[in-house]
Amino acid sequence: MNSHEVDYEIFGDDMQIVEVELDPGEVVIAEAGAMNYMEDGINFETKMGDGSTPSGGMLGSLLNVGKRVLTGESIFMTHFSNSGQGKRRVAFAAPYPGKIIPIDLALAGGELICQKDAFLCAALGTNLDIAFNRRLGAGFFGGEGFILQRLRGDGKAFVHIGGTVIKRELNNEVLRVDTGCIAAFTPGIDYDIERAGGLKSMIFGGEGLFLATLRGTGTVYLQSLPFSRLAERVMRAARPGGSKGEGSALGPLGDMFGDK
């Protein structure tokens, strides 16, 4: 099905909100729990799947649900529709510091591959699927980069990218990146996992044992703060003997969470 055409506006800097404007009858889909606020006239319903193939049958729905369970994602998505007479707005918030990037899938070749937790919301008609990397090396060593999410359609999709966003255009070029720092890329980019340098660099370099290698022609979105890296640093600072500051047992985290 063709995607609904939605208008939008993005507010904020580091903790952004995207406000989607729906005409009567238009629908936007989002991950469960992403909604921040909505105007009167917006109705929402929790469903299994993205609703892009309403005639797909029970078997197709169960297959998509099984894939999402395998990746740790919620099996449900929330569908927000405008049942009023005029334009109505619904807003979705970024889950942690970063940027919300609007992607016109029609201009991106009809497809976008992104980290499995990058998707925020999209126009109804967008198909969300899981993209397992076909390379064996990526399966064993890819970490965050092994299981990716594929967005297909011809409408607007909104992805959240952690920290600072770097957009790179590759023209039959090669780019090596930490696996977690790849946020999304367009068709035409081939993705694989390769060893990071020699044995000494792998053990003592602090950059991990393997790097993702991107080859081809297309657009790559990089993120400076993957959620896994953010969570790791928070847990490291919260452990006994972690970073401490004056006046708090947890240093900056103590100030953040009110530990005085």
Query: Mean pLDDT lowest for which of 78-92, 170-184, 215-229, 239-253?
Result: 239-253
In a domain, 111, yes or no: yes
The average pLDDT across 154-165 equals: 93
| Residue corresponding to tokens 């989607």 | 20
In a domain, 13, yes or no: yes
In a domain, 247, yes or no: no
Residue 131 vs residues 58, 67, 260: alpha-carbon distances, Å: 21, 9, 45
In a domain, 251, yes or no: no
| Residue corresponding to tokens 């169960």 | 62
User: Is 122 within 8 Å of 151 (Cβ atoms)?
Assistant: yes
In a domain, 218, yes or no: yes
- Record the tokens describing residue 121, joined without a space: 């919301």
The average pLDDT across 227-240 equals: 77
Number of folded domains in the chain?
1
In a domain, 246, yes or no: no
Q: Taking all residues of the chain, what is their mean pLDDT, rounded to a whole number?
A: 79
Q: Tell me the per-residue pLDDT of 105-148, one tens digit each, with 9 for 90 and over.
A: 999 989 999 987 889 999 999 998 887 665 545 444 545 556 78
| pLDDT level of residue 95 (50, 70, 90 thresholds) | confident
| pLDDT level of residue 58 (50, 70, 90 thresholds) | low
- CA gap 88, 224 in Å, rounded: 34
pTM more than 0.85? no
Q: Domain residues for 98?
A: 7-231
- Record the tokens describing residue 137, joined without a space: 């090396």
| Residue corresponding to tokens 């657009």 | 219
Q: Which residue has the higher pLDDT, 194 or 22?
A: 22
For residue 158, give the nearest of 104, 232, 87, 218 by alpha carbon: 104
| pLDDT level of residue 81 (50, 70, 90 thresholds) | very high
For residue 213, give the nearest of 230, 201, 197 by alpha carbon: 197
In a domain, 236, yes or no: no
For residue 39, give the nearest of 77, 82, 9 by alpha carbon: 82
- Record the tokens describing residue 141, joined without a space: 């060593």
Which residues is 122 bridged to in the sheet? 29, 157
In a domain, 188, yes or no: yes
Q: Please give the pLDDT value at position 235.
A: 83
User: Pairing state of beta strands 156-162 and 119-123?
Assistant: antiparallel
CATH number at residue 39: 3.60.160.10
Neighbours of 242 (CB within 10 A): 15
